Amino acid sequence: MAQKITLSIPDMLHEKLTEWRSSFNFSKMFQEALTDAIQKKEELQKRFSEELEMPDIVKRLRQEKQDWDHTFWRAGKKEGIKWARSAHYQDLLYVLHCEDTYKVLNCDEYKSYFQEIYKANGLGNYTSQQGIDHEKQFIDGWFDGVTSFWNDVRHQL
């Protein structure tokens, strides 16, 4: 049997909820998010109560790292597609043919853009002097997104 609960949300979120009500199953979204959050808490409690061997710990951490990296890759791909959809033709060609993909990050024309998406995606929270795995995954995803978009449209030009 399903139980009803009441949630409080900020006015701005309520406006968006009202606007998109017909496009989403908010009940299902909340259930999935809550289930995921509870599962993570239960797994954490279970880890604290177990005596795990080092290979088990390494296996778990390796999986968590893969999940973490993939999350950043997906976010990067989404941003790359978004950028490509509004990019000028010459900018697309520059990015697609750049031999050192990471050179684009420091190019004067794109530097402020990348600073903004780094901030928006929380990449600045973990950066150091050398690139970190999730940062690399994000940028790889970004370039994959740009390339994917280009492959979809280039034959139509």
Give the whole-angstrom CA distance, residue 26 versus residue 16: 12
CB-based contact 124:118 (threshold 8 Å) = yes
Q: Hey, what are 67's tokens?
A: 């999940």
Q: pLDDT digit of tens for each residue in the chain (157 aa)?
A: 888 888 888 888 888 888 888 888 888 888 888 888 888 888 877 766 667 777 877 888 888 877 777 888 899 999 999 999 999 999 999 999 887 777 888 888 888 888 888 888 877 665 554 456 778 888 889 999 999 999 999 999 8
CA–CA distance from 135 to each of 10, 15, 124 (Å)? 31, 33, 9
